[in-house]
Structure 1
Amino acid sequence: MNVLRQLHVYYREKNHLLILSILCLAAATALGLVYPNLLRKLIDDVIAPRNYSEAPYLALTALSVIIVKAFMQFLSGFFGGRLGNYLAYRLRNACYEKLQFLSFRYYDTAKTGDLMSRLTGDLEAIRLFIGFGFAQLLNLFFMVSFGAVMMMSMNWELTVLTLITMPFLVLVAWKFESKIHPAFQEMRLALSSLTTSVQENITGVRTVKSFAREPYEVEKFSERNERYKSNQIFAALLWSRYFPVMELLASVSVAILLGVGGTLVIHKSLSLGELVAFFGLIWFIIGPLWGLGFHINNYTQSKASGERVLEILNQPIDVQDDEHALMLPGEQVKGHIVFDHVTFAYGNKMPAVTDINFEAKPGAVIGFLGGTGSGKSTIIQLLMRAYDIDEGSITLDGTDIRKIKVRQLREQISTVFQETFLFSSSIRNNIAYGIQDVSMDEIIRAAQLAKAHDFIMELPEGYDTVVGERGMGLSGGQKQRIAIARALLKNPKILILDDATSAVDMETEHEIQTGFQEVMRGRTTFIIAHRISSLRHADLILVMDQGRVVQQGRHNELIHTSGPYQDVFRIQYADYLSRISDKEDEVNRA
């Protein structure tokens, strides 16, 4: 029940709906007790003494009870439905909001398909139980209690004998719950894995087809589908063992009632009407207990689902605002960045960056060059506070960024990532993403600086052209230029270009960089690049290797200094250097 207690905070304001639903269901249950009494009265007071004048009144009473009972059941369902939908609405919003603020560290291991499963199937299971299942489970107690009290009022000895198997019914149901809950937990995990497989396959369908891996993907899906099927079969096996035992115990109660009750009627110790009423009441009790497994099934599913949803809601946020975090007045930010002996490791792994020291003065351009895994992108992520550093400090205008509100810090930074992401919306909305009250002229200006305006105008609907999911329908270079325009429109104090021109040709790269010269003016800019041509004009270039700075300086200094930078320069400009060497040889021969 701990799961339900934790979920209670999300529907506490609507407790009255739960109470009304339970009360209406209890009233309907109480009215259900009228039927056995009407049968008893019909047999003992109408049929036996042949007093048929009361029959119409009994029929009208039964009709009235049916109408009122149906209305009570309607109200119970209405209030329960309102409660369940309110809870699902609150939980859905809470989960989505939590996902927005969870740190990058969480998404390093999270799976999209699994999260989608939690926000859909798991939330639906919770909604159904809280809205309807909980009241039904509580109503089971009402039905057993009301029925037992009425039976006791007629003949307590027969009641005790008839209900002697009830404790065993409860024990079997309890045992069933302890086994079915782990089964449903495993079933939810299997379904999550299945959903993840589908999501990944659809997302990466072009990669699958380009490598002709369709058979492999079918086999992988079949294995996960087999796991889900096995869990379903195991749960069905538990049900198949449960129902026969419950039916056997219920049948024993009915047999006792017929045997002992019939004997009492023969010896005039019990009227025939009371025996018929007893028979109706025994099913009034056995029916709910027989269905106890169904209610336990609903409870178990919602419990397993609740645990998965609460896992998101209770997930700690690694990067949070300090209690005394400062607000940044945007117009006063200069963009002076200092890394002082910064060291950071992802989890328990080896440090990704070690003892990083450099200063980026306002308006400076800092370049990073290095192989894959050298720590270039990690430095940028630490600057954005995607992760908090382990040692050292990073300051913005003299203030440790851990003392600045995260949102305020990131509002001063605009990033163009190597892996471009576009939303399924118009190009206009993608460029203006996250910026309010922006004019069309400003959007066009940003697109022109990013060298995107010309190809956008060639599209059927220009800036109103809707791009497909993740920008499908555009080339890699086109998507990257739209992302650059989006970053420029933000007008940040700090601009980060994470290999931002890797998907464009050399000519377009040169045009974009020419546009950058104007944009970079007055902004602190960080450029991660594999092409030395992107770093030639940087004020400081840091050459990274295995998380450390192995060289630093300006372009003209580094190409004349033996080291990794010079090696990369020679590789990238081999043809150019060869042509110069050939010309020098020709001059010498002449």
Structure 2
Amino acid sequence: MERKHIVWKHVIDYRYSYLIGFALLSISSVMQLVIPTLLGTFTDRLEMSLLTYKEALQIALWMLLAGLGIAIFRSSSRIFLFRLSRLLDRQIRDDLFRHWETLSTQYFKSRRVGDLMSHAISDVSVIREVTQGGIFNILEAVVLITLTVVTMVTTVDPLLTLLTLLPLPLLTILSYRFRSRIQRESVDVQEAIGSLTSRVQEFVAGIRVVMSFRQEKEQIRLFGEDNHHAVAMNRKLVKSNSLFGALSSAVVGFSFLVSVVLGGIMVLHGRITLGEFVAFNSFLSLLMGPIDNLGKVVSTMQRGKASEKRLLAILNTRPDVADDSNADFSIESLDGAIEVRGLSFSYPEASEPALRNISLTVPKGTSLAIVGKVGSGKSTLVHLLVRLYNPPRGTVLLDGRDINEIPLHVLRSHIGIVPQDQFLFSTTIRDNIGFDPKPYGDEEIEQAAKVAQVYDNIAEFPHQFQTALGERGISLSGGQRQRVSIARAIIKKPSILIFDDSLSAVDTETEDRILEGLNSVMESRTTIIIGHRISSVQSADQIVVLEEGEIAERGTHESLLALGGLYADLYHKQLLDEAVRGQESEWEGDKVANTVPGTPRASQNLGVATGGRAG
């Protein structure tokens, strides 16, 4: 269901609480009328020389009590209403974050991080200002203006009241003229803040690249441009607010001028007393505060409206990937049998399909390896298996069921994936490995780390598994991050294990140890391995070679070598590369040997000869 309001819905949901705040504010407003009345009485008694010491003391006491009552009830109403604004502040952020979690990866690929942060911080803060200062000032203005005008008409003079308040409708015209302008400029300010935040986030995330390529000056220039733009947008908004406030103050000042001139004339002609004149101007002073605040309220409301539109655009975004209407929620587990039937898939922004007519079967407990050039569609196939995108109906089946009919929480809880980017969170190593709704014990955490061949590295850290990682796990090396990601996937004991090029950052020796440790884990589970190294995929039950989104070859390691196609070419190329690297390593070792004093020349030559034959 589409949401149309944020602030108004909050007011409706907490209407009784707002009514209590309104009642407290009304009592405060009534008490504010007591002081001008007492001032008028005091002035009249004083002018007629009838004021006694006792009367003066009583008037002072009543004014003191009225002031105390105003302070108590006004403060209570502010606390009550401001508390509600903080509740809305918390609720919006909760709703926003929960909704973000339902959206697909495609949504986040097309948005900048800074813009999302701006929504969660800046826009929400503006909405809070609306419910905090805006609603309070509106309620106070409605109550105080109504009560004050009625009192001025009934206790002083209706004509003077009418003429004095006659300029005030101009504020309505000003509000209308400035409304769209302030709203438009508020949107510009929020977008400028989003751009500035994105610039900072990008700089911090890429600080190593910036320093490596000596781009500090360029980054300063780019940040300066965004910063100046943000300042310029804020200046425009400040100018509009200031102009509106100045014009509003001018209208209010003109009302005071009318009051002083006409009221003075009426006093001189005996139509009203001096005390009534004093009381009238005191009542008018009470009006000026709320009326002046209405100008600020207009600005706040327009800014709030702009922010509300931005937030509603997010909250009303339907997730691309969600539980299907035909989803079978009786499914609680998966065995892991995979079947792909004639799968073709295109990304929303792409003109060419990423996958074309893919058909394959992976029986439960067997392994599938996928190899191919960069951009051939390997990761796309995996993303469809975990439904980061929706595959066409009837093309991807798990245990004989269309994957679209399997509830997302069941699907993803039974698939363990090691992605390419090895993202780690800014928490402890233990929490990163045990990143799952299910709690894990220390023994399970350590066993997963041992299988992933990262236990020894962790044991060397001062706090071992309680070591806190930096942002995105930056305090670990690339290979260590990959192995922690592997441990995070296998600890779930999922029905399906997916390794998306997850051994690229480790050396061949560590790769062999990891694969050896994974044998027991993979034995009863369906496993998909995406890799560039033949060594990591050659033992798979079946191997698929993708080229430009299509299956070019399939078979076992031996049958594909015998075929002499793309797979065989890749295999022989890697053998040649390894041989060259091995030869270069031996040459480096020979150079070192030549520099060691006392090394027999014959031994050095023998080493070269042996190295040459071995290479």
Matched, 1:490 2:482: no
| Corresponding residue number in structure 2 for 1:259 | 261
* Structure 1 residues 247 and 454: CA distance shift in structure 2, 3 A: closer
Would you say the 8 A contact 2:152–2:161 is kept in 1? Answer: yes
Please list the CA deviations of residues 143-170 of structure 1 after superposition, one character each: whole Å capped at 9, or x if unmatched.
2222221222121111111111111122
Return the offset for 1:478.
1.0
| Corresponding residue number in structure 2 for 1:58 | 59
Return the offset for 1:512.
0.9
Please list the CA deviations of residues 429-463 of structure 1 after superposition, one character each: whole Å capped at 9, or x if unmatched.
22112153422222222111111112221222222
Q: Determine the C-alpha separation between the residues in 2 that align with 1:3 and 1:240.
A: 33
Greater mean deviation of Cα atoms: 533-542 or 393-402:
533-542
Please list the CA deviations of residues 266-305 of structure 1 after superposition, one character each: whole Å capped at 9, or x if unmatched.
1111111111222122222233222222112222232223
Return the offset for 1:578.
9.1
| Corresponding residue number in structure 1 for 2:592 | none
| Partner-residue secondary structure (3-state), 1:339 | strand
| Corresponding residue number in structure 2 for 1:108 | 109
* 1:468-487 map, 5 Å: 468-487=470-489
| Corresponding residue number in structure 1 for 2:177 | 175
Matched, 1:538 2:544: no
Q: Percent of aligned pairs with the same residue? A: 34
Q: Determine the C-alpha separation between the residues in 2 that align with 1:256 and 1:131.
A: 34
Q: Determine the C-alpha separation between the residues in 2 that align with 1:375 and 1:492.
A: 24
| Corresponding residue number in structure 2 for 1:99 | 100
1:404 aligned partner, one-letter code? I
Would you say the 8 A contact 2:342–2:395 is kept in 1? Answer: yes
| Corresponding residue number in structure 2 for 1:138 | 139
| Partner-residue secondary structure (3-state), 1:200 | helix
Q: Determine the C-alpha separation between the residues in 2 that align with 1:465 and 1:342.
A: 44
Q: Determine the C-alpha separation between the residues in 2 that align with 1:222 and 1:38.
A: 59
1:23 aligned partner, one-letter code? A
Greater mean deviation of Cα atoms: 403-412 or 204-213:
204-213
* Structure 1 residues 4 and 375: CA distance shift in structure 2, 3 A: closer
Return the offset for 1:69.
0.8
Would you say the 8 A contact 2:241–2:299 is kept in 1? Answer: no
| Corresponding residue number in structure 2 for 1:128 | 129
Matched, 1:19 2:24: no
Matched, 1:239 2:241: yes
| Corresponding residue number in structure 1 for 2:83 | 82
2:28 aligned partner, one-letter code? A
Please list the CA deviations of residues 446-504 of structure 1 after superposition, one character each: whole Å capped at 9, or x if unmatched.
11111111222122222222222211221111111111111111101100000010100
Would you say the 8 A contact 1:133–1:298 is kept in 2? Answer: yes
1:104 aligned partner, one-letter code? T
Would you say the 8 A contact 1:3–1:303 is kept in 2? Answer: no
2:144 aligned partner, one-letter code? M
2:275 aligned to which of 273, 276, 280 = 273
* Structure 1 residues 164 and 223: CA distance shift in structure 2, 3 A: same
| Corresponding residue number in structure 2 for 1:335 | 336
Q: Determine the C-alpha separation between the residues in 1 that align with 2:11 and 2:522.
A: 51
Would you say the 8 A contact 2:7–2:127 is kept in 1? Answer: no
Return the offset for 1:391.
5.7
Return the offset for 1:174.
2.4
Q: Which runs of 5+ in 1 are unaligned?
A: 580-585
Would you say the 8 A contact 1:446–1:486 is kept in 2? Answer: yes
* Structure 1 residues 255 and 394: CA distance shift in structure 2, 3 A: same
Return the offset for 1:13.
4.4
| Corresponding residue number in structure 1 for 2:195 | 193
Greater mean deviation of Cα atoms: 201-210 or 412-421:
201-210
* Structure 1 residues 18 and 575: CA distance shift in structure 2, 3 A: closer
Aligned length: 579
Greater mean deviation of Cα atoms: 414-423 or 350-359:
350-359
| Partner-residue secondary structure (3-state), 2:343 | strand
Greater mean deviation of Cα atoms: 549-558 or 226-235:
549-558
| Partner-residue secondary structure (3-state), 2:129 | helix
2:441 aligned partner, one-letter code? S
* Structure 1 residues 376 and 10: CA distance shift in structure 2, 3 A: farther
Greater mean deviation of Cα atoms: 11-20 or 92-101:
11-20
Would you say the 8 A contact 1:431–1:485 is kept in 2? Answer: yes
* 1:146-165 map, 5 Å: 146-153=147-154, 154-165=156-167
* 1:203-352 map, 5 Å: 203-327=205-329, 333-350=334-351, 351-352=353-354
Matched, 1:436 2:438: yes
Would you say the 8 A contact 1:320–1:406 is kept in 2? Answer: yes
Return the offset for 1:79.
0.7
| Corresponding residue number in structure 1 for 2:601 | none
Q: Determine the C-alpha separation between the residues in 1 that align with 2:376 and 2:433.
A: 31
Greater mean deviation of Cα atoms: 318-327 or 226-235:
318-327
Over the residues paired in the alignment, what is the CA RMSD in angstroms? 2.3
Q: Determine the C-alpha separation between the residues in 2 that align with 1:190 and 1:557.
A: 59
Return the offset for 1:312.
2.7
Return the offset for 1:65.
0.6
* Structure 1 residues 440 and 249: CA distance shift in structure 2, 3 A: closer
Return the offset for 1:111.
2.3
Matched, 1:44 2:44: yes
Would you say the 8 A contact 1:11–1:87 is kept in 2? Answer: no
1:141 aligned partner, one-letter code? V
* Structure 1 residues 20 and 4: CA distance shift in structure 2, 3 A: farther
| Corresponding residue number in structure 2 for 1:582 | none
Greater mean deviation of Cα atoms: 412-421 or 116-125:
116-125
